[in-house]
C-alpha cells in the first residue's frame, strides 16, 4: 500500500491532545439554545472563507442574502460559485469521504456551470502560479486516477489519527491537483469530511475562514512541504489552524451581536474578512481614504467603496465631518 511521506513532530502530538480537549468543549457549546443559528453562521463563514481564498469577493452578508433567496448585485460567476458551494455543503451528509465516486459528485456540484469538465479528472497538464511564476507543476493527467486511487486506499486503511490523515490527504490532494479547477475548494471540503468522522462538530467549524485569514502562510506551508517531500510542515500548520479555530469559537455568543433592520441576522455574524480588514485599517487611521484602503488590501477602488458602504449600512461606522476633512468613527 502506498504511504504518503510525512513525519509526526512533538508539536503534532501536543496539538492533537489540545484539539481533542477543545472538541468536547465545542460540542457542548453547539448544544446550547442558539446552536441552530450558530451552525448557519459557521456554514456562511466556511463558504465565504473557502471561496475568498480563490478570489471570490462576496461578503458574509451577501452570502447570507443568497442563502435566504434574495437577489444581490455582484459578478455572475461569483454568485454561481456561492450557489454551488451552498448546494455542496448542504449535501455534506451524503458524501462518503472514503469514496472517489463521491469526490467526483462533489466536484460536479461545486463547479456546475463554471468549468467544462465538471465532475471529471483533468485531461491536461496544470500548474500552480504565483503571478507569472510557476510554483508547482502537478503530475501528468494520465497519472491522476492512479494517484487518487492510491491516496484513497491509504485514507481507508491507514491506522494514523484522523487529524493527521485529514491534513495529509489535504496536502496530497493539492499536490496531485486532480481537477482543472476547484481543487482548493474540494480539498478543504474533503478535509472537513474526514474530520467529521472524528467528531460531528467539524461540520460546523469554519476552519476555511481562518485559513483565508492566514492565506499566505497556508501556501507557504504547502510549498515548504513540497520542497521537503514531506507533509509534516503542512500537518503542523493545519492542526494549529484547527486548534486556533476551536479556541476562538469556544465562547461564541449570538446574543451579544447587534441587530439592525438592514441586516437580517446580526451585524456581528455578517462581517466578512475584507470588512474586518477595513475596520482594522480604520482603527489605525480614521482618516484613511477608500483609495488608500484599496491599495493596502490589493483590491479595486470600487470594491473598497462597496466595503465601506456595507459597514455604514450595518451601523458599524459613520462619517464625521466632510469627505475631505472629516474622519471615520467606529461605532461597534
Q: Confirm whether residue 43 is marked as ligand binding.
A: no
Residue 323 CA to residue 181 CA, distance in Å, equals 43
Q: Confirm whether residue 254 is marked as ligand binding.
A: no
Using H for helix, E for strand and C for coil, what is the string for 148-176?
HHHHHHHHHHCCCCHHHHHHHHHHHHHHH
Strands 317-320 and 327-330: antiparallel
Q: Confirm whether residue 188 is marked as ligand binding.
A: yes
Q: Confirm whether residue 116 is marked as ligand binding.
A: no
Q: Confirm whether residue 306 is marked as ligand binding.
A: no
Closest CA to 307 of 284, 328, 331, 279: 279
Residue 206 CA to residue 44 CA, distance in Å, equals 8
CB atoms within 10 A of CB 7: 12
Burial tier of 218 (Cβ tally within 10 Å: 0-12, 13-18, 19+): buried
Q: Confirm whether residue 160 is marked as ligand binding.
A: no
Is residue 177 flagged as an active site residue?
yes
Q: Which residue has the cell 467549524?
A: 205
Residue 135 CA to residue 127 CA, distance in Å, equals 8
Residue 47 CA to residue 60 CA, distance in Å, equals 9
N-to-C CA span, the chain: 55
Q: Confirm whether residue 105 is marked as ligand binding.
A: no
Q: Which of 14, 107, 120, 177 is catalytic?
A: 177
Burial tier of 251 (Cβ tally within 10 Å: 0-12, 13-18, 19+): exposed
Q: Confirm whether residue 186 is marked as ligand binding.
A: yes
CB atoms within 10 A of CB 237: 22
Residues placed in the known binding site: 181-188
Residues serving a catalytic function are 177
Residues placed in the known binding site for ATP: 181-188
Amino acid at each position: 500500500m502506498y504511504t504518503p511521506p510525512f513525519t509526526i513532530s512533538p508539536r503534532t502530538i501536543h496539538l492533537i491532545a489540545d484539539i481533542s480537549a477543545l472538541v468536547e468543549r465545542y460540542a457542548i457549546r453547539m448544544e446550547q439554545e442558539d446552536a441552530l443559528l450558530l451552525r448557519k453562521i459557521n456554514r456562511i463563514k466556511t463558504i465565504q472563507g473557502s471561496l475568498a481564498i480563490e478570489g471570490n469577493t462576496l461578503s458574509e452578508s451577501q452570502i447570507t442574502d443568497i442563502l435566504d433567496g434574495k437577489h444581490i448585485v455582484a459578478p455572475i460567476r461569483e454568485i454561481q460559485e456561492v450557489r454551488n458551494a451552498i448546494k455542496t455543503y448542504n449535501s455534506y451528509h451524503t458524501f462518503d469521504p472514503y469514496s472517489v465516486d463521491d469526490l467526483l459528485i462533489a466536484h460536479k456540484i461545486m463547479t456546475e456551470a463554471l468549468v467544462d469538465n465538471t465532475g471529471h479528472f483533468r485531461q491536461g497538464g496544470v500548474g500552480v502560479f504565483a503571478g507569472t511564476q510557476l510554483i508547482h507543476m502537478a503530475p501528468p493527467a494520465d497519472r491522476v486516477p492512479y494517484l487518487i486511487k492510491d491516496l484513497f486506499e491509504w485514507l481507508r486503511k491507514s491506522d494514523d489519527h484522523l487529524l493527521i490523515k485529514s491534513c495529509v490527504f489535504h496536502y496530497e490532494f493539492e499536490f496531485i491537483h486532480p481537477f482543472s479547477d476547484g481543487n482548493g475548494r474540494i480539498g478543504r471540503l474533503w478535509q472537513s469530511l474526514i474530520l467529521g468522522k472524528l467528531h460531528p462538530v467539524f461540520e460546523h467549524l469554519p476552519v476555511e475562514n481562518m485559513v483565508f485569514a492566514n492565506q499566505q502562510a497556508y501556501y507557504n506551508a504547502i510549498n515548504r512541504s513540497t520542497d521537503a517531500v514531506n507533509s509534516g510542515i503542512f500537518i503542523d500548520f493545519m492542526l494549529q489552524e484547527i486548534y486556533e479555530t476551536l479556541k476562538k469559537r469556544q465562547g461564541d455568543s449570538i446574543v451579544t451581536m447587534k441587530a439592525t433592520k438592514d441586516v437580517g441576522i446580526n451585524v456581528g455574524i455578517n462581517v466578512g474578512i475584507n470588512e474586518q480588514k477595513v475596520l482594522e485599517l480604520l482603527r489605525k487611521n480614521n482618516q484613511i481614504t477608500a483609495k488608500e484602503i484599496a491599495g493596502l488590501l490589493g483590491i479595486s477602488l470600487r470594491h473598497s467603496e462597496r466595503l465601506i458602504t456595507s459597514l455604514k449600512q450595518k451601523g458599524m461606522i459613520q462619517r464625521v465631518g466632510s469627505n475631505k476633512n472629516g474622519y471615520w468613527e467606529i461605532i461597534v
